Amino acid sequence: MSTDGSLIAVYPGSFDPITNGHLDIIKRGARLASHLIVAVLNNTSKQPLFTLEERKAMLREAVAGIDNVEIDSFDGLLVDYAAKREAKAILRGIRAISDYETEMQMAHLNRHMRPETETIFLLAAEKYSFISSRMIKEVIKLGGDVSQFVPAAVAAHLRFNR
């Protein structure tokens, strides 16, 4: 936290696509941070389902009305981005023990590279603990309905643009 008690946090991810689980973490994280930056990773080595701009647009629509949330994107190291944005915390969601093991390793690595940045873990709400972007993409590719698992912005985008 800064001397004035404010906390800037970054919630990074590919958000390809954003799920209701992501949205739940964003809403809960926004209650903890003064300013929450949802940062979409621009990973050119992967073939995303949605473009970077589409993902950012869907996120903006999904978080409309949450005043302290900003949508941005980054490439490169997360800790470098956090430093550039003066964030003191990285927010991560945990769905299962397997997530924790991976996230713990990344948190330790990030702390070694930038000790002043802490990682905050939020447990996924039970009703979202089985949802992942990877699984959603599989259902989409096979022509299934994912509207109960994703924000309305994503469902609408799929109906009108796919």
pLDDT in tens, 99-149: 888 899 999 999 999 999 999 999 999 999 899 988 998 998 898 999 999
- pLDDT tier at 153, thresholds 50, 70, 90: confident
Let me know if residue 2 belongs to a domain.
Answer: no
C-alpha dihedral sign at 102, 103, 104, 107: positive
**E strand or H helix at 138, and its extent?**
helix 133-141
Catalytic residue among 88, 92, 132, 133: 133
Residue 117: CATH number of its domain: 3.40.50.620
Q: Is residue 15 in some structural domain?
A: yes
Answer whether residue 50 is part of any domain: yes
pTM of the predicted structure, to 2 decimals: 0.92
CA distances from 124 to 51, 99, 158 (A): 26, 11, 25
Which of the residues 28, 85, 95, 111 is marked catalytic? 95
**Which tens digit of pLDDT belongs to each residue from 34-58?**
999 999 999 877 788 899 999 999 9
> What's the one-letter identity of residue 32?
L
46 is known as an active-site residue: yes
Find the domain containing 44 and state its range: 8-161
Amino acid symbol at 28: R
Classify residue 3: in a domain, yes or no.
no
pLDDT band at 65 (very low <50, low <70, confident <90, very high): very high
Q: Per the domain annotation, does 1 fall within a domain? A: no
pLDDT at 160: 65
pLDDT averaged over the chain?
A: 91
Q: How many domains does one find in the chain?
A: 1
Find the catalytic residue in 14, 22, 55, 88.
Answer: 22
For residue 69, being part of any structural domain is answered with yes
Whole-angstrom CA distances from 59 to 91, 111, 117, 118 are 16, 28, 24, 24
> SS3 helix, strand, coil % of the chain, rounded to 5?
45, 20, 40
Given the DSSP bridges, would you call strands 89-94 and 69-74 parallel, antiparallel or unpaired? unpaired
Whether the predicted pLDDT of 3 surpasses 60: no
132 is a catalytic site residue: no
Q: Which of 2, 6, 46, 84 is catalytic?
A: 46
Separation CA 87–CA 39 (nearest Å): 12
DSSP 37-50: EEEEE--TTS--SS
Structural domain contains residue 29: yes
2 included as an active-site residue: no
